[in-house]
Chains A and B, each alone.
Chain A
């Protein structure tokens, strides 16, 4: 069975600091998808990124970057120069291709990020 582990329950940083959120996953499937979602205090789930298991290229989107390493089953998320608006709970999620959809998600427990001035 698949599993996603986010060992960091809560992280507090001061604005402009860089912060990395860790995600480790387990799956027996050879084809799978990894995701990060953001849940701000308003409660909605906001999609950030999807990565399939055959694409290990790191990705950068503005202040956000993601490091996918199959060798360590990790998909870490870094926010550079954090801002107060980044304060939220961040979820890592996994979906196995055998399910026929990328939206049947197994979520990690989430990491609460608090950015202060």
Chain B
């Protein structure tokens, strides 16, 4: 398996624009997680899905953030409108049951 695949790897966008981050989990994994890494807040969980259903979105910072998982092999994290403070590295991870989480390479988002 190629592991968790995220796209794009880097994204630079202007404030106010919509940004969509994409993730393909490892085949067979039933849980998918979106994490954000910033200097100020470290690594924090934004939302996670189990069997394509959102289970806990308490980490989503604002209504500007939304996430979907239309099927077992694809998820998106959307920010609309984006703001400079959204600049961070966004990681997608997948797991199965009580196994460890496998992380994607991350998407480095810069909002100018």
Contact = CB atoms under 8 A, between A and B. Distances in A.
B78 to A, nearest CB: 21
Given A44-B103, A99-B56, 12 more contacts: A43-B106, A45-B106, A47-B100, A47-B101, A103-B33, A103-B48, A103-B99, A103-B101, A104-B56, A105-B101, A107-B44, A109-B42
By size class, the interface of chain B is: 20 to 34
A79 B94 CA distance: 28
Interface string A23-66: 00000000001010100000111010010100000000000000
Nearest to A106: B45
A12 interface: no
26 contacts: A37-B103, A43-B105, A43-B106, A43-B108, A44-B104, A44-B106, A45-B93, A45-B103, A45-B106, A47-B101, A47-B102, A50-B99, A91-B43, A99-B56, A100-B50, A101-B48, A101-B98, A102-B95, A102-B99, A104-B33, A104-B45, A106-B45, A107-B43, A107-B44, A108-B42, A110-B42
Interface of B: 31, 33, 35, 42-45, 48, 50, 55-56, 89, 91, 93-95, 97-106, 108
By size class, the interface of chain A is: 20 to 34
Nearest to B105: A44
Contacts of B44: 107
Could you tell me the dominant secondary structure of chain B's interface residues?
strand
Interface in A78-93: 91
B95 A101 contact: yes
B98 A97 contact: yes
A91 B91 CA distance: 15
B40 to A, nearest CB: 11
Interface of A: 33, 35, 37, 43-45, 47, 50, 52, 91, 97, 99-110
B61 to A, nearest CB: 17
Contacts of A107: 42-44
A102 B106 contact: no
B100 A101 contact: no
Interface centre among B31, B33, B95, B98 (most CB of A within 10 A): B98
